[in-house]
Amino acid sequence: MKLSFSAPVTDHRFQLRCVPASGPRQQVVDVKVRVSPETTLESQADAFDSVVMTGYIPQPHDSFEYSVTGIAFVDNDHTKPEEYKPLYRFDSALTIPGPSILALIERCQADIAGAEAPVMSESALDAAGSVDVDGADASQGQGDAVESALGRRRSQDSSVVDDAKLVMQRVFEAFTYTPGLTTIRTTAEEALTQGKGVCQDYAHAMLTVCRHLGMPARYIAGLLGGEGATHAWVEVYDHDRWVGLDPTHNRLVNDEYITIAHGRDYRDCMLDIGIFSGANVTQEQWVNASVHEQRA
């Protein structure tokens, strides 16, 4: 990634989520991170167990670059069990439903044969109350409704993944992939209303629907072979494991996908965040991602 500034900047503090972490479906080795201008990097895990690297560049500079290389061993067919986190049941800042999303929820509900998960209509949402997305806290009303739906699913031994695939199909059909019309601040409702967007928008729409149909779901930022850029998809929690679905391509995630970060929505997975000092400075960003696949 290269960031070019229109004039020199100073006191540049940055936070990077650019290193894939080892986890239940992948093991990452031989990781090398390079930053220019050179500076000391500190590494830690965030609240979602994604790798976060922070640094500080005090001297003037008119560009900032970082690169990451490494080897990821991905085995999507033998994903290990993972702890369930209740926060993935609830709305986040970018996944609050409006009329377009609510209509899609109803269509998906109709598609799920025999499902008893309740549709969260506008009146039901009003009765349930609001969700504090920044604190990952939710009202008791909505929590009870979703927990009840989850309990019915498990008692019926139904497949969450099968239901999620139906949602994925609907989201795929609802969008036309169109770069440049949405931003990192575009909500699922806004993107679906216009029916155009990029992988981030597809993922946000699917997250919203899945959560309101009782399926815990999380946002994934990562890499996909042949894309040339970062990618986004969704994981749903089914039988103690997270299972990936890519609504942009309407398919299940396979070994070609490498996870970098996960969270409630894009805001929890931003690959680079920074602040700096400079007068009337504009910036341009260039990102390139390359995955070379070798099968065992």
Mean pLDDT of the chain: 87
> Side-chain half-sphere of 293: how many Cα atoms within 13 Å?
13
Rounded average pLDDT over 284-289? 86
In a domain, 256, yes or no: yes
How far apart, in Å, do the first and last CA atoms of the chain sit? 30
Greater pLDDT, 137 or 281:
281
* Same domain? 55 vs 188: no
Query: What is the per-residue pLDDT across 51-99, written as a single tens digit (0 to 9) for each?
Result: 999 999 999 999 999 999 999 999 998 899 998 889 999 999 999 999 9
Tokens coding 261 = 């970060």
SS3 175: coil
* Cα 282 from chain centre: 27
pLDDT higher than 80, residue 157: no
**Between the CA atoms of 263, 268, 269 and 271, what dihedral angle is there, to the nearest 10 degrees?**
-160
Rounded average pLDDT over 262-283? 94
* Same domain? 100 vs 171: yes
SS3 55: strand
Give the per-residue pLDDT at 295. Answer: 72
Residue with tokens 């044969």: 113
pLDDT higher than 80, residue 144: no
pLDDT higher than 60, residue 19: yes
- CA-nearest of 115, 118, 146, 116 to 131 is 146
Residue range of the domain that includes 244? 86-269
SS3 234: strand
> Side-chain half-sphere of 207: how many Cα atoms within 13 Å?
33
DSSP state for residue 57 in the 8-state scheme: E
pLDDT higher than 70, residue 5: yes
Counted domains in the chain? 2
* Same domain? 68 vs 173: no
In a domain, 294, yes or no: no
Q: Which amino acid is at 236?
A: V
Phi first, then psi: what are they for 196, rounded to 5°? -140, 145
Query: What is the per-residue pLDDT across 249-266, written as a single tens digit (0 to 9) for each?
Result: 999 999 999 999 999 999
* Same domain? 52 vs 150: no
* Same domain? 202 vs 230: yes
* Same domain? 203 vs 92: yes
Q: Which amino acid is at 280?
A: N
Least confident range of 50-54, 200-204, 282-286? 282-286
The percent of residues above 70 in pLDDT, for the chain, comes to 84
